[in-house]
Amino acid sequence: MSDYLRGQFAKKANVNIETLRYYEDLGLIDPPLRSESGYRLYSDEMLIRIAFIHNAKSCGFTLKEIKKALTKSRHQNIEIDDFIALINKKMAKIQSEIDNKEKTLTLLDQLKTQLESSDKHPEVQTTLQILNMDH
């Protein structure tokens, strides 16, 4: 097992020092051990934990959700079915966000079509007048 000073660890974990402090403040990582001279020492185990946090973030989990999972796993085992249910919930939320964005895109496309049309809908004409764009 290797111990790394904060700067070495941050570089190896591909995070900045402020991120380490932030994760520590949030309770995502434990406070590191200290050397006899007071320097923070980070372990290989902490590298694995940081990698887990990064992977979870890249899957769309928030730091709050990650902390909840880490805290729960510290006090009891998390069942795979529970984890799959959490993933399904996250996927449904993302799908809902995608659906909402697609609706917005459709509305914007319709508005653009109306703006480009020589025969504009009365509501579009009113909007253009409000915006002083009724050329």
> Residue 126 is which amino acid?
T
User: Tokens 């097992």, residue?
Assistant: 1
Q: What percent of the chain has pLDDT over 70?
A: 98
Query: Does residue 127 fall inside a structural domain?
Result: no
11, 30, 77, 87, 103 from 81: Cα distances, Å: 35, 27, 12, 10, 33
Q: Which among 7, 90, 12, 8 has a CA at the least distance from the CA of 54? A: 12
What CATH number did the domain enclosing 13 receive? 1.10.1660.10
**Total structural domains within the chain:** 1
Query: Does residue 96 fall inside a structural domain?
Result: no
Instruction: Encode pLDDT of 39-87 as tens digits.
Output: 999 999 999 999 999 999 999 999 999 999 898 888 888 888 988 999 9
Quote the DSSP letter at residue 38. S
pLDDT for the residue numbered 132? 87
Query: Does residue 88 fall inside a structural domain?
Result: no
How many of the other CB atoms lie within 10 Å of CB of 32? 19
Question: Residue 39: which domain range?
Answer: 3-78
Query: Does residue 35 fall inside a structural domain?
Result: yes
